[in-house]
Amino acid sequence: MALIGSLIPVNSKFETKNANIDIYLYKQDMHTDILLPVHSKIINWDSIFRPKHTLSNPQNSEFIGFGWGDLNFYRNTPQWEDIKLNVAFKALFLRSQSALHTQFYQKVPVSENLVKISVSKDQYKKLTDYILETVNAENKGEIQPVSGLHYYQDDAFYLAETSFHLFKTCNTWTNSALKASGLKACLWTPFPQGIFYQYN
């Protein structure tokens, strides 16, 4: 099912007119992040996900990365080699709290696992709405990070809506973000390969 869903394209003829905002898909191991400019005419991300929420309080970052997943999995699996069977089982088969992971970048990372996508203002607005809805930003006032949870000096985690499960993984979230924004995506995928296949 994952293979079939990954091969079926969605928004394959997405609108490229006035696509002058550059965003990136970034694959790290089995996880995908969406990298967006910190500042734009549409939104200033650092006014919502504040640099002071990180350990290093970075200034003048150009990009911010967004990824979503199971909070307990994030707590117990900082690296994929740290994965534990019981943690993975709970994440996939039991309903639990999810989290949005953010990370500031001074520059776009240099990586072969990076895909650049140029989007229009309308597409970018839809993408920002999707991310903000993930943490129910409109109804929370100032968003607070999960205390004491960091992978790096420049990242933070935030409690998110909906639950992680077998049919909604971190990569499903990224793929759904692209679909909701009118960008190229696949019908459904739990893996990063399904997303990146659409941009090969």
DSSP string, 127-175: HHHHHHHHTTGGGTSS--PPTT--SSTTEEEEEESS--BTTB-HHHHHH
Number of domains in the chain: 1
pLDDT recorded at residue 67: 98
pLDDT recorded at residue 88: 60
pLDDT digits (tens, 9 = 90+) for 136-172: 887 677 899 999 999 999 999 999 988 787 678 999 9
- For residue 123, give its domain range: 2-197
pTM: 0.91
- Sequence-distant (6+) residues with CB within 8 A of 82 are 76
pLDDT recorded at residue 142: 86
Among 190, 158, 146, which Cα is nearest to 64's? 158
pLDDT recorded at residue 89: 54
Report the C-alpha gap between 143 and 130 in whole angstroms. 16
Q: Mean pLDDT in runs of 10 for the chain (200 residues)?
A: 67 84 94 98 97 98 97 82 61 77 97 96 97 87 93 97 82 96 93 91
Report the C-alpha gap between 174 and 32 in whole angstroms. 7
Q: How does DSSP classify residue 200?
A: -
CA 70 to chain centre: 13
Tell me the CA distances in angstroms from 40 to 16, 45, 121, one per residue in order: 19, 9, 10
**Taking a C-beta distance cutoff of 8 angstroms, is the pair 36, 52 a contact?**
no
